Structure 1
């Protein structure tokens, strides 16, 4: 956590990694918190190569659109947010170095994921923990399950995300990818 104003000023640019499958209100709470504490945020859209599965139903482009349109709709300063799609690599120990080659220089990571925190700390980066927001209710896994089951998920994501999911027939996509060959 951030200790003092001088410590806050030390973080010109911070990496905020996630899959954003889909972007939800917890993610946006973290982005707003970070905007109040650091200069710029590099939002890493992870698993950029993955889509059309239950775990990763949306393409990197769709997730970037969700981020940009929500940031604009909420009148947040897009000029302080860099969004970068990043494909996975299969070597956790190399991941931070991989990001260093793809991203502008950064001083810290913002994450509550223990593995992410450890990987960045081992490379000497500061670790920020944005406060949780309704974590018992809001998670990508829960939202995707609710979408699949036809339960109300719309209040857990920003309004623009609801619209984008509908525009791209996202619910139908999720239901289709879980069907087995026998059901077809």
Structure 2
């Protein structure tokens, strides 16, 4: 059985993540989704809790991709101060896997050093679809809905996520 590990922060989940997740799911029998930086929240760069991000992914899978929910395992993974230890610590938290899916060069390096297969998922419109872009658009009252799925928009609204991101953005500006 081929098992893949897809690593991301999903701050918040957007259409680019969805494209990559679905691409990865086609390549494996089971996809473990590591929700990274699970120990971080209520920061402009990391506005949502690990539980909220897991809910975003589950809602998408339940509402828009039911056939894939059975083959997906969602695991919160905290940061560890020593980078090389992070990849080993991750192994303590997630089921076994054969392949790591990531487009992050540093994460790729950590797993390649361990002789674990790394595959870079296809990405769409990376120049305009990113969680950073979503947060910046929300903070500056620009249209962000086009970058998101309806289930994630609905959850962000339920969580009062727009207000949270705007407040965190303003706090970040004050501290600078």
- In the superposition, the TM-score normalised over structure 2's length comes to 0.93
- Considering only CA atoms, is the larger Rg found in Structure 1 or Structure 2? 1
What residue number does 2:161 align with?
170
Gaps of 5+ in 1: 1-10
Aligned length: 173
What residue number does 2:97 align with?
106
Aligned partner of 2:8 among 3, 18, 22: 18
Distance 1:102 1:180 in 2: 33
In the alignment, structure 1 residue 51 sits paired with structure 2 residue 25: no
Gaps of 5+ in 2: none
In the alignment, structure 1 residue 136 sits paired with structure 2 residue 127: yes
What residue number does 1:179 align with?
170
Shift of 1:179: 2.9
Aligned partner of 2:107 among 95, 116, 132: 116
Question: Which stretch has the larger CA shift, 69-78 or 36-45?
Answer: 69-78
In the alignment, structure 1 residue 146 sits paired with structure 2 residue 134: no
Q: Does the 8 Å CA contact 1:48/1:88 hold for their aligned counterparts? A: yes
Shift of 1:176: 1.4
In the alignment, structure 1 residue 70 sits paired with structure 2 residue 70: no
Shift of 1:161: 0.5
What residue number does 1:87 align with?
78
Q: Does the 8 Å CA contact 1:96/1:123 hold for their aligned counterparts? A: no
